[in-house]
Amino acid sequence: MRNSAWNDLVALIDGKELDFQPVGFIIDSPWIPGWYGISSIDYYTSDELWFQSNLKAAKSFPDVWFIPGFWSEYGMCTEPSAFGSRMIFLEKNLPYAEKILSGIEGAGLLPQPNVKTDGLLPFMISRLRNNQQAIIKSDHQIRFAVARGPMNVASFLMGTTKLMMAIVIDPVGTHRLLNKISDFICDWLSWQKECFPSIDGVLILDDIIGFVGEVQFNEFVLPYFRRIFESTGVKVRFLHNDAEGLITARYLKEMGVNMFNFSFNHSMGEIRNLAGPEVVLVGNIPPRDVLAAGTPEQIDSAVKQAMEEIADHSRIIWSVGGGMPPGVRNININTFLNAVKKYSTETRH
């Protein structure tokens, strides 16, 4: 993340007013390779192409905060690979990890991963180490440790339907699995921070937490996420959940979250009322149907609507309700930027 953007983000977390309305997007392999004109395989296997494509995005849109910035990842294969999942890599599409648990009864047999040696994790660290000086020379730093959340990883290992059934049928076994995965996530975040002391932010991505009711949320989500966000003691604690997010929003403070990216199906005002004034909100127009597939006029209209949904524009990063999807063109990003500038100026007047 660019150093000036990081400083502004920290100021926003602290409740300080900026003299502009920030725009930011979560970017990774669903968007970058296609936008840069390379295959997904080349993006994952070439340190040089990975670095140059991320750098080009930052240079092409200097007014955009790209979060986490120079994200070293292998799509949804990253965390499951450490548990032994078979990984399927495709030339033009995202990779995926095959399930390794036929049911929750196998949770106790899973190995506890060594985050320094297992799966794709050493390759992720090596890529950042190999490019660290070039990242620093380009006026950026490695600011975030990143991981999928425990429910999300569990769904990769056994399937979402079986996980939802296990929560009801075998809560003891479900806790056994979530404890093992949460220990792994805490270790993984800590190892990233140890390797790169510039890290003072954590990004956790977990849509599956939006699939459970409030009782299940309190039992199977809240304690694990509180442990994860407390584990590194970082300044910026960013949660992405672009599934159902109303329950999540009510518990952000208890989870230790101070920055939240949520579904475009929820209005900015609705989430603000639930989350409270201290949380930085990241959103909130439809990513695929508007930012990727929409016309400039539709993007302008969606930004205007989002900004009118909430009277107080403090502690907001204007974005999409999710990560940057495939197929987003430069003109649409620039239209988004210009719309935020235009309507924030109108609001001030």
How many domains are contained in the chain? 1
Boundaries of domain holding 91: 3-348
DSSP for 291-339, written as a single string: IITS-HHHHHHHHHHHHHT-S--TTEEEEESSSPPTT--HHHHHHHHHH
Instruction: Count H helices and E strands in the chain, helices first.
Output: 16, 10
pLDDT of residue 347: 55
- In this prediction, residues 249-273 reach a mean pLDDT of 97
- In this prediction, residues 276-285 reach a mean pLDDT of 96
285, 333 in Cβ contact below 8 A?
no
- Can you tell me which residue has the tokens 């309700």? 321
pLDDT of residue 349: 42
Amino acid present at 135 = I
pLDDT surpasses 60 at 108: yes
- What CATH number did the domain enclosing 30 receive? 3.20.20.210
For the segment 76-96, what is each residue's pLDDT rounded down to a tens digit? 999 999 999 999 998 878 899
Q: DSSP letter at 16? A: P
